[in-house]
A and B are shown apart, each in its own frame.
Chain A
Amino acid sequence: MAATRRITININGVSTSHEVEPRLLLVHYIRDMVELTGTHVGCETSVCGACTVMLNGAAIKSCTVLAVQADGEEVLTIEGLAQGEQLHPLQEAFWECHGLQCGYCTPGMILSAYQLLLRLPRPTEEEIRHGIEGNLCRCTGYQHIVDAVQQAAGQMRARR
């Protein structure tokens, strides 16, 4: 086993600090050390997007980032999106529009959509479909997801 290193990552506004092996993936840090299991693993190869989290405000696939690379940075996971019991408009919209079935892709999908809406507050259907291209869902056929993102976009604009 390689020498471990202490790292500190702010996750959802809370500072976390652990001794880790340099090869530890960020997704495993989040799931196994910090015990936030809402971030999922679906492929380990950067294709499915189930592991998507926000790193310093950008959506990344945490299965292909080392935990040590996020040392000193800020991470937002699905658990940090709601304000207490108050769901984020995207979470509300996924619920309203039936944008999920098994729910396994959902945390990553919502965070990808979150990044999309930060960049494009008024996305077209086409832009949404391209924006979530890096996230696979086998259950829904994406249509209700697209509807949900559109609905959330409206909600988020209204909030501003």
Chain B
Amino acid sequence: MPLSRLVGARIKRREDPRLVRGLAHYVDDVRLPDTLHVAILRSPHAHARIRSIRVEEASKAPGVVSVVTGIDIRDSIGPVPVVAQNPTLRVPLHTVLAVDKVCYVGDGVAAVVAQDSYAAQDALDLIQVDYEPLPVVSDPEKALAPGSPVIHSEWPDNVAFRWTLKQGNLAKAFRDAYRIVKQHLVHQRLAPIAIEGRGVLARYLPGEKELTVWSSTQIPHLLKTQLSIMLRQPENLVRVIAPEVGGAFGSKLNVYAEEALVAYLSRTLNRPVKWIEERRENFQATIHGRGQVGDVEIAVKKDGTILGLQYRAIADIGAYHQLLTPGIPPLTGLMLSGAYKIPCISMEVTGVFTNKMSTDAYRGAGRPEATYVVERIIDRVAQELGIDPVKIRQKNFPQRRDFPFKTATGLIYDSGNYRAALSKALKLAGYEKLRKEQKRLRNQGRYLGIGLSTYVEISGMGPSAAMPAGGWESGTVRVEPTGKVTVLTGTSPHGQGQETSFAQIVADELGVDLDDITVVHGDTAVVTSGIGTFGSRATAVGGTAVLQAATKVKEKARKIAANILEANPVDLVFSGGKFAVKGVPKKGITIQQIALEAHLATNLPKRMEPGLSATSVFEPSNFTFPFGTHICVVEVDPKSGEVTVKKYIAVDDCGKVINPLLVDGQIQGGIAQGIGQALWEGVVYDENGQLLTGSLMDYALPKAKDLPRLELARTETPTPVNPLGAKGVGESGTIGSTPAVVNAVVDALAPFGVVHIDMPLMPEKIWRLCRSKDAADRRG
């Protein structure tokens, strides 16, 4: 049998017909009779004591059923959880609604439950809160300074945790260095902005005592466990359903106050209750990403060989921890070796409380920061030593024979061929020609910049030992009596297309038609166990579980077939979905016929259990490490500061590809977000903790006209970590792209003496830099 029929093919998605027709069901499209609607009153202050809250008037407003405040519910709902741990971690009590003080703009203060959402919104205006404003600190560096306002009185220094990593003799590396290059870097806060915000619908059935929660989440199973703890509701009476989910990018890899609150309200009121987040709330009260500032120092030899790297950072935590908040900056530390041999590495990071929304996992989660640090500083070194940025990278790459490659940070890179990806990208870009063009244009006063990023990232998350809440994944394959195949996965896709790619895997393994397979996900009552979709893990971990389950089904089917055909199982061959005795292909029996036999159970081998289904839980032995080279070409107009991305080449290696169409989609979307960070995006709070980017009018999301046509290519280096050979691709585009863009702009501005600019590279910033140089020259 050919190993693959469908795996590797550009198959269009099976989830699309319902989506392009508007017939899919996101949370707000799930309708239950008698549903009540919730609106949440949020703090306009970044830091204030709540003196009193008066809800009488709101309670009497038309259509209002109930109004609750923090005090009303604090004994009934446990705190919002954080599962990422760290020995120095300080965890402030994070109640579902604020009790005596608010700590960021958007902090929930009260909730109104009403017959419809308009009535609930109206009643918010009738709640009177008497706030006593407190001093605010929104800048994490200032929060560390003595005399800063204190956010949680238990910890007057505002430190949330400290985390360090130290490998090798850094002092010696720096002593021996020909040159030490330093750079201060800002990784600005970003808003994930899934176009569907968050949403929760809960239904409690008092007779059955059963709670069902529909939530726009990436992690239905983890949410089920956490909700049962928060609400003291037995876990076997909680069901979580992630229906269609309209994008997430890490923002729904969390357990939010509203999820518990809405479930609690349904249980109290014995009615279905729904809350749909508004975009304004999404900016204020859904996690942000990044939010790190740091100083990197690198020690190099004269020829550009890296001797050591040190990075000291401050991570802006926000007022509270969310689920994984303290787990993000350590991911930066682990990836500080980038795609290079760096014998000693150290990182010190201090997590700092500020009067802002929490930071947590946003596409890339800690790794974009690492890649940015490494790819920026290596360009700085190239510039200082007068080495071409390509050469310095090639010089420091581990070679093919070095894999599995152990980094100073303690990781083992599974497989890689960094040179091949780089060469391919250079060729596609026409690198040499571009450099000549750049020179030519500079002479005409035009500023072209060429930026590289040779990234490596960590994905396929597990293994469990390295994860805060399990790194395995489950898969079930069941052949129904009629021969249709049902696949259950513990991953929770929300745009990635696993209903298609997992069906491809199973179709190949069982030799059945793609159209006869249905992939089910996101319902904890149907899929018995799971972890979820994040960390570019679904295919590498979840896909493997599904493959292994299908293999188990096939092996059971072989035994049943052998029994029926009165042959030895080893004498059967499996081809085209049929078992037959070697040399007698005509007398074969199909997997569908075997499924029926398995269910009728009258003709099974002795002691075999009836039915044709199997479950597999895959525990990976390591992460996987996708890599690649991105090349960005920009033109900068020094008169306006405008950056135009002229060309973008991405060569990505995500291991074995199941469906190239989906991989291209992931890379393109990822790059758009990475370019967004480099050029336009940024969550801005002022010094009073007011959110200045609270709407899509103020937060610049990339639009179609802002982006260039991306030229994509691949190399394929399978991972030995799983039998599919797949590494993961959800975050590569984002991780690889940001430094390529910034490097390109800095390269363009080299004639102006620019060696670094902090993101986002807004025209005004660039214009100022160019102007100050012009002025200096004139004074010169």
Contact = CB atoms under 8 A, between A and B. Distances in A.
- Residue from B21, B25, B279, B673 having most chain A Cβ neighbours under 10 A: B21
A38 B22 contact: yes
Contacts of B672: 140-142
A31 B276 CA distance: 14
B709 A139 contact: no
B118 interface: yes
A76 to B, nearest CB: 11
A146 B672 CA distance: 14
B617 to A, nearest CB: 27
B383 interface: no
Interface string A59-95: 0000000000000000001110110000100010011
Interface string A3-21: 0000000000000000001
B445 interface: no
Interface in B3-41: 12-13, 15-17, 19-26, 28-29, 31
Nearest to A147: B709
A157 interface: no
B544 interface: no
Contacts of B671: 141
A30 B703 CA distance: 27
A98 B279 contact: no
A107 B194 CA distance: 16
A79 B22 contact: yes
Contact of B195 (A98, A130, A137): A137
B17 A138 contact: no
Contact of B12 (A44, A95, A101, A102): A95
Contacts of B564: none
B605 interface: no
B707 A103 contact: no
Contacts of A43: 279, 695-696
Given A1-B62, A133-B705, A102 B494 contact: yes
B588 interface: no
Contacts of B670: 141
Nearest to B675: A141
Query: Size band of the A side of the interface?
Result: 35 or more
A125 B668 CA distance: 16
B697 interface: yes
Interface in B275-331: 276, 278-279
Nearest to A78: B22
A21 B122 CA distance: 14
Contacts of B669: 101, 138-141
A140 B247 CA distance: 10
A95 B661 CA distance: 11
Nearest to B671: A141
B29 A129 contact: no
A132 B702 CA distance: 12
Contact of A145 (B12, B247, B696, B704): B704
Given A42-B195, A50-B195, A138-B249, A144 B665 contact: yes
Contacts of B716: none
Nearest to A143: B668
Given A105-B195, A140-B668, A44 B245 contact: no
A26 interface: no
A128 interface: yes
Contacts, number: 174
Contacts of B705: 126, 129-130, 133
Interface in B138-165: none
Given A101-B496, A138-B194, A141-B707, A106 B19 contact: yes
Contact of A102 (B194, B278, B707): B194
Contact of B710 (A36, A50, A101, A141): A141
A37 B22 contact: yes
A29 interface: no
- Residue from B31, B119, B704 having most chain A Cβ neighbours under 10 A: B704
Contacts of A21: 118
A47 interface: yes
- Residue from A36, A100, A126 having most chain B Cβ neighbours under 10 A: A100
B747 interface: no
B495 interface: yes
A58 interface: no
B664 interface: yes
Contact of A106 (B20, B194, B668, B697): B20
B481 interface: no
Given A43-B279, A48-B696, A102-B194, A140 B665 contact: yes
Given A37-B28, A95-B17, A98-B661, A136 B246 contact: no
Interface of B: 12-13, 15-17, 19-26, 28-29, 31, 62-63, 116, 118-119, 193-197, 244-249, 276, 278-279, 494-497, 661-662, 664-665, 668-673, 695-697, 701-705, 707, 709-710, 733
30 contacts: A1-B62, A31-B28, A32-B116, A37-B25, A37-B31, A40-B26, A41-B276, A42-B195, A42-B196, A45-B695, A47-B697, A81-B21, A95-B12, A98-B661, A103-B24, A103-B244, A103-B246, A125-B709, A129-B704, A136-B195, A138-B669, A139-B495, A139-B669, A140-B669, A140-B672, A141-B702, A142-B703, A142-B707, A143-B709, A144-B665
Given A1-B63, A101-B495, A138-B669, 14 more contacts: A32-B116, A36-B22, A37-B29, A38-B23, A40-B26, A40-B195, A95-B20, A100-B20, A103-B19, A106-B19, A106-B20, A138-B701, A141-B669, A141-B733
